[in-house]
Amino acid sequence: MTYNRAPILTDTFAIASASYRYVRQLGAKAVAWAVLPDNLHAVVELGDTSLSDAVRFFKAKFSGQYRSACGVKSGRIWQHRFWDHIIRDEEDYAHHIDYIHYNPVHHGLVLSPFDYAFSSAHRWREMGYYDRTWGMVKLPLVEKSYGE
């Protein structure tokens, strides 16, 4: 989450995307993700790195590139902490993927998860995980908060 929930992430999505490419070099891979204006959600396969290292690396790369591109000389960009959750089983995995993809609808950014440009929902629909109408009605189980 950005510091004071500053809505900078979707405006600078190219920087976030480039920062993620650096994290991939550590062996971490986001299998599902959504970048909102002030925070991001992801299910991450870590490979040989720790989640703390992957998050720290992403934040550092993003911060440096953001400061350079936007002329920001000082001040915090990120909150110090982050929320994590260890996936327990297939049901938990599926629920978190749904939660991530539904999040832009939950926050009123779009009416359908597939109208949101900054998420992997499109790819999951193309893989057959969702039909075209998924998420267009309120999903009570997906509405549950996971640390927001």
Q: Is the pLDDT of residue 77 over 90?
A: yes
**Residue 148 corresponds to which amino acid?**
E
Q: What pLDDT, on a 0 to 100 scale, did the predictor assign at position 64?
A: 94
Q: Enumerate the domain spans of the chain.
A: 3-70
Q: What pLDDT, on a 0 to 100 scale, did the predictor assign at position 93?
A: 96
Q: What pLDDT digit, counting tens, does each position of 98-146 carry? A: 999 999 999 999 999 999 999 999 999 999 999 999 998 877 656 555 5
**How big is the CA angle at 91 (ends 86 and 96), to the nearest 5 degrees?**
55
Helix (H), strand (E) at residue 148: none
Hey, CA dihedral for 73, 83, 35, 54, is it positive or negative? positive
Q: Which residues contact 51 (CB under 8 A, 6 or more apart)?
A: 28, 44, 84
Please, are residues 1 and 38 in contact by the beta-carbon 8 Å criterion? yes
Please, are residues 20 and 58 in contact by the beta-carbon 8 Å criterion? yes
- Whether pTM exceeds 0.95: no
